[in-house]
Amino acid sequence: MGDGNMPNDDPRYTTTRTILKKLNDRLPTKLNKDTRAGATTGLGANAIDAGMRFVLIGPTKEIAHNTIKDSIKYSSKGSAKIKLLISNHACLKNKKMVEKYPDVGKIPILPLPEKCEECKHFYQCPVTDFLRTNIRDIDGVGLTYQKLMAVMLSDSKTAERIKKRLTHAKLYIFDEAHNYETPDVVNIQMYPHHDMSRYQELFKENKKISPFLENFAELKHRLQIHVIELLHAKDDALKNRMAIDLKDIDSIHFKQTVAALKEVIEVMKHRDRFGLSVGDVLFIFNVIMILSTKQLVLHYMKTDDGDSVHLSAKDGLHLSTKLFLSMLNPEKKKKIVFTSATFGDYDYTPIFGFHDQIVMPDVMKSNEKMTIYPDTFKMDDINYSKRYAERIIDAAVEYEKKYPGIRFVCMKKNVAFWLQHRLKEKGYKINIDYYRSDRTIGVSSDERRCVCVGAPTSPINAYDGIVDTFEQSQKRRTDDNHAAFWQAISRFKDPAGVVESHIFCIGIKEEEIKKMIKWGINRKLYMNGIVCERVGNDGGFAMPIVFSRNCGRVLKMVKKRNGISHNDLRKRLKISSEELNMVITKLKNDGLIQNNVVNTKGRSKTTYRV
């Protein structure tokens, strides 16, 4: 599903139909699924066919909008009416403004230029399409988590109308819900320092922007002692949460924030007049957004560029979701499902309350068609360009020669640029990518091979600002890195479970791969400081085949002793029966070994030979 037609007897369609019926009408449901399983699309298609109006909320426009459009394709009601709640960037007036001033389009949030109902474009604008349509005629609505936050945290009349209309559904799907574990937050670098005096002088007469700049300069001064405190404690960053939760921070009223954001647009239009870069204007935007929130946290992080301290807004997604769910009438039956293939070691009860739990199996057995080939060394995310440079480059060249155009998915963006540059020097123009890019999360692909260059990585204290303890931070970091790997390599799976896929690894060892691909119910991480020693769960999905060291050992033994029995193999190599069965299946499927039945003393005996 998501790649081709899905008739109503497709196992993904019939399985999601059963799940839809099982969903609790009173309690939310946590749906554990496999990657590319067709769960969200199938739920949408079945909702359309059952006449259940649904709302689908996803992390990106591509996921939210494309998935809901696919639901129509796979339903039997081809004329279903779907509406998309789109960004204010699509407002006809804003769009015209961005065409004239392209830099304005780089501002993350664009307020609507006027009240929608009073605008002459009300009946043509895509932003108001949802409001213009009779709610009874709508089968489904798609929006992003960012749009949900924008609507829920707004007190405009347009936002109020949207909120009210969204409550008229019977099914609510929160897709890729693992995003609640590591939500995007607004943050500003406090060290190394920004010189605020320049901005203060430029806008001292601007009554809309100046209050924000003056308040931030004062806050920055007050927090200097805490910045120094965090920097002095950096030697403990591998064992302590490097964050300070801030209290008694006065937020600025919403209407002042909107007025300031509109002023930022004017500044961006004429930034040359002020001698400002795009980055300078976006800094002012972030100052406004930071000061419009009530909960802030100061936290330390060490990156490739050295020590840094950031001021971040506490997450608004959790609050927005709880506000939205509180608007739904508890007396009316409705189904709420939050779903993901990569739920981490995390408690969702504070967001969704008490909830049921359902598993959608890998009905197409797509994981069993994937083989991962580990490496024998672990790539260093800091000294990779020195310590392992030639080893990485030589391996990349070999894969590019063998599979021209194969995609290289790198551990982070700067590694991707480095590898691309080094191979270009050797005359190769490679298909480069990196974990967490737009091409590695929630999208389909026809490619069935890739090369993973190192495992995903992130700074040790990257999540200190969104959790309460160091252990929680390390679990969040580990889960997020594991999810980035599993989500990325899953783009290369055949969702129909027919075509085999192959994942070649450079600088990722077998034991790390097995941790990163283990997902399922109640995932549990066993941490020792910053190191994940083991991953467990209460039941998961069949994992891809890892062409392990044991594959090589078994193949070598079979070649050496053509006609060796299963028991002899297990005893000689000291491999568990479960592991040996997986290895034998893999080698037989690849045509490297075959069964050989011999008669011994009147009894047949199965042996293996090349």
Residue 378: DSSP 8-state: P
Residue 5 lies in a domain: no
Confirm whether 4 is domain-assigned: no
Most confident listed range (70-84, 194-208, 586-600): 194-208
The CATH number of whichever domain residue 560 belongs to comes to 1.10.10.10
Task: For residues 195 and 246, state if they share a domain.
Answer: yes
pLDDT the model gives residue 2 = 41
pLDDT digits (tens, 9 = 90+) for 274-287: 999 999 999 999 99
Place of tokens 């500044």: 267
CA-nearest of 153, 311, 173 to 243 is: 311
Domain identity same for 497 and 374: yes
Overall average pLDDT of the 377-386 stretch: 87
19 and 149 part of one domain: yes
Residue 383, by phi and psi: left (phi above 0), alpha (psi -120 to 50) or beta? alpha
Cα separation of 388 and 380, whole Å?
Answer: 8
Residue 250 is assigned to a structural domain of this protein: yes
Domain total for the chain?
4
**How far is residue 306 from each of residues 340, 400, 480, 487, measured CA to CA in Å?**
34, 34, 22, 29
Residues 425 and 514 in one domain: yes
| Shared-domain flag, residues 165 and 73 | yes
Q: Residue 5 has what pLDDT?
A: 47
Q: In this predicted structure, what is the pLDDT of residue 602?
A: 65
Residue 352, domain member (yes or no): yes
Tokens standing for 316?
């608004």
Residue 1, domain member (yes or no): no
In 75-137, which residue ranges form alpha helices assigned H by DSSP?
Answer: 92-100, 129-132
| Average pLDDT of the chain, as a whole number | 91
Ramachandran class of 61: left when φ > 0, alpha when ψ lies in -120 to 50, beta otherwise:
alpha
Domain closes at, from 304, 336, 359: 359
In-domain check, residue 122: yes
Taking the CA atoms of 267, 268, 270 and 274 in sequence, report the sign of the dihedral they define: positive
- Same-domain pairing of 194 and 253: yes
Kindly report the CATH number assigned to the domain that includes residue 42: 3.40.50.300
Instruction: Select from 359, 392, 416 the last residue of a domain.
Output: 359
Residues 352 and 381 in one domain: no
Task: Please check whether residue 97 lies inside any domain of the structure.
Answer: yes
Of 16-25, 70-79, 143-152, give the range with the top mean pLDDT.
16-25
191 shares a domain with 89: no
Domain membership flag for residue 80: yes
- The SS3 assignment for 274 reads helix
Contacts of 198 (CB under 8 A, 6+ apart): none
Question: Both 80 and 163 in a single domain?
Answer: yes
3 falls in which pLDDT band (50, 70, 90)?
Answer: very low
372/281 same-domain check: no
1 pLDDT exceeds 60? no
Examine the domain organization and report whether 252 and 214 are in the same domain.
Answer: yes
Beta strand pairing status for 171-174 and 335-340? parallel
Q: Quick one: average pLDDT of 91-119?
A: 91
Give the sheet arrangement for strand 564-565, strand by strand.
Answer: 564-565, 603-609, 594-600
| Residue 569 near residue 557 (C-beta atoms within 8 A) | yes
553, pLDDT greater than 70: yes
Share of the chain above pLDDT 90, in %: 70
Instruction: Provide the domain limits for residue 322.
Output: 11-182+317-359
Q: How far apart, in Å, do the first and last CA atoms of the chain sit?
A: 38
Last residue of a domain, one of 546, 565, 588: 546
On whether both 333 and 296 belong to a single domain, the answer is: no
State if pTM tops 0.75.
Answer: yes
